[in-house]
Amino acid sequence: MSKFQLIPTTQGPLYPPSEVVNKHGNFVVVLNLIKEDNAISWGGAKKSQLPKFGETSAYTILEELDIKNEKRLAEIEFFSLPLSLPLNNYPIVFAPKQCPNPSQIQRFSLPLSNGYIYDYRENDGLRKLNKIVLSDWLKAQGTLDVTIDGSVARFDFCFKNLIPNSLYTVMSLREKDLNPQELTRPGPLGIPNVFVTDSNGFANYYAILNNPFPKHEKDSNRIINVIVLFMSSQQSYGGAIGYFGLGGDVHAQLKLSQIDLFDHLITTPIKEK
């Protein structure tokens, strides 16, 4: 069994720079903040120009955030991204059989604690959430144990300090999901890929996948990261990770710190008889 620690983030791909914005519509970036010298840090940013997918250009940094300044971090409330998604160069439709033309849908940003919920009625008993702020978001913790038995890998997660009473999903990121020449659609890590936190933000989740870590070869499409997504829509989407993705309804909160941590894991395909 291999053990991993997940770290807080607000990012999926580098564009949009974040999957949350503040009340002014500026991206709040936790993890990779691209500067003119390609140095990486974290803070608030608003992109001034959008490169092609697979390329990068420096963010326009409005404020660098001090992780030790909890008072300042508690002032930054999170909002969903408006639609169509701003500064998005990821050429993938996340739920192609459910929402084939997401770029044609227009809507305003909303507080993450009060997201868009399809078919919602006031008398249905929605659990009310406190406003979601950066200082609380960063308290999230997650551990992952991966156990391999031949062709099968089991993923066991334990979480604490997530947003209480909320729906989360877990997605897998594979090698080709970031490859502009052979782009594949990110998918769930297991189905159903959902869990609901308790009133203290605790939860557990597991998934069992067949051959997620084939040998490192040109045509392999190994899992290279797992991302824990807060669902502001309080919904899940079957074989898709979200209806709009990338901050429209899914919001990355935890992930592995780098994409090579699974490199030593190998699963073997089942031999045909």
pLDDT at 66: 86
Cα distance between residue 11 and residue 252, in whole Å? 6
pLDDT at 37: 52
SS3 content of the chain, % helix, strand, coil (to 5): 10, 35, 60
- For residues 163 and 196, the answer to whether their CB atoms sit within 8 Å is no
pTM, full prediction: 0.93
Span 86-108, pLDDT tens digits: 999 999 999 999 998 898 999 99
The two structure tokens encoding residue 99: 């929402």
Cα distance between residue 273 and residue 37, in whole Å? 55
Owner of token pair 């003119």: 36
Q: What's the N-to-C CA distance of the chain in angstroms?
A: 29
pLDDT profile of the chain (273 residues), mean per 10: 96 93 92 63 58 87 86 96 94 93 93 94 92 97 97 98 98 95 95 97 98 92 98 95 95 96 92 60
